[in-house]
Amino acid sequence: MEKAYVAIGSNLGNRKKNCEAALAAFSLHPDIKVLSVSPWYRSKAFTLDQQPQPDYCNGVIELTTTLSAHSLLHYLQEIEKKLGRKKENERWRPRTLDLDLLFYGEQILKEKELMVPHPEMIKRIFVLQPLCDIAPDIIHPLQKQAVRKLLLFLKKASATDELQPWDES
**What pTM value is reported for the model?**
0.91
For residue 158, pLDDT beyond 80: no
Contacts for 137 with CB less than 8 Å, ≥ 6 apart: 146, 147, 148
Residue 74 falls within a domain, yes or no? yes
What pLDDT is attached to residue 100? 94
Q: What are the tens digits of pLDDT across the range 42-94?
A: 998 876 666 778 899 999 999 999 999 999 999 999 999 998 777 655 666 77
Catalytic annotation on 95?
Answer: yes
pLDDT above 70 coverage of the chain, percent = 91
Residue 152 falls within a domain, yes or no? no
For residue 151, pLDDT beyond 60: yes
For residue 161, pLDDT beyond 90: no
For residue 130, pLDDT beyond 80: yes
What pLDDT is attached to residue 168? 66
68: domain range? 2-120
> Which residue of the set 95, 137, 148, 161 is catalytic?
95
> Which residue of the set 42, 49, 55, 100 is catalytic?
100
DSSP-assigned states of every residue in 19-71 = HHHHHHHHHH-TTEEEEEEPPPEEEPPP-SS----PPEEEEEEEEEESS-HHH
For residue 17, pLDDT beyond 60: yes
Q: If you average pLDDT over every residue of the chain, what do you get?
A: 89
Give me the number of domains the chain comprises. 1
Residue 78 falls within a domain, yes or no? yes
For residue 136, pLDDT beyond 80: yes
Q: Do 5 and 24 form a contact (C-beta atoms < 8 A)? A: no
For residue 101, give Cα distances in angstroms to 17, 96, 161, 165, 169: 20, 17, 24, 22, 28
Q: Higher confidence at residue 62 or residue 114?
A: 62
Residue 154 falls within a domain, yes or no? no
The CATH number of whichever domain residue 98 belongs to comes to 3.30.70.560
Residue 134 falls within a domain, yes or no? no
- For the segment 14-22, the average pLDDT, to the nearest whole number, is 95
Residue 6 falls within a domain, yes or no? yes
What pLDDT is attached to residue 4? 98
> Which residue of the set 98, 124, 133, 161 is catalytic?
98
Catalytic annotation on 100?
Answer: yes
Q: Higher confidence at residue 117 or residue 94?
A: 117
Would you tell me how many other CB atoms lie within 10 Å of the CB of residue 41?
23
> Which residue of the set 42, 85, 124, 133 is catalytic?
85
